[in-house]
């Protein structure tokens, strides 16, 4: 068991979630229970799964939750693309958030690879 708050990938995922919450405040009201909810859930799921994995016993369990977090990151990436295409995000907002998601995905991939290598 380890402290998830000490992981850089968790910090980055948490910052991404905070930014998603900030930008979705101005989305159309009719999206409140649609795209806003989906974006917030998928982005917060990244950090939440890292935290849950850190609370489990063993690297194998952590690896499983890191993998789930990576799936949530890909889901977030899609929802951001959809928000941009619906003109809820401007190009610069989308670009910034997209870069954050890609960075988190890379970090999750590296962590997963390290956990796999260390299990051998």
C-alpha 43 chain-centroid distance: 4
Task: Quick: pLDDT tens for 19-70.
Answer: 999 999 999 999 999 999 999 999 999 999 999 999 998 889 999 999 999 9
* Cα(91)–Cα(107) distance, integer angstroms: 24
* Per CATH, domain 4-119 is 1.20.1440.60: yes
Give residue 2's pLDDT.
83
Residue 119, pLDDT above cutoff 60: no
Query: What confidence tens digit (pLDDT) does each residue in 4-22 have?
Result: 999 999 999 999 999 999 9
**Where exactly are the structural domains of the chain?**
4-119
């Amino acid at each position: 068991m380890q402290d998830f708050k000490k992981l850089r990938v968790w910090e980055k995922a948490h910052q991404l979630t905070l930014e998603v919450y900030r930008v979705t405040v101005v989305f159309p009201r009719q999206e409140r229970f649609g795209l806003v909810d989906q974006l917030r859930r998928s982005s917060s799921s990244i950090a939440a799964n890292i935290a849950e994995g850190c609370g489990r016993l063993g690297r194998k369990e952590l690896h499983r939750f890191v993998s789930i977090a990576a799936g949530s990151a890909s889901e977030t990436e899609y929802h951001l693309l959809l928000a941009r295409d619906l003109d809820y995000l401007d190009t610069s907002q989308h670009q910034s958030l997209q870069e954050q998601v890609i960075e988190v995905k890379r970090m999750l991939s590296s962590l997963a690879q390290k956990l796999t290598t260390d299990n051998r």
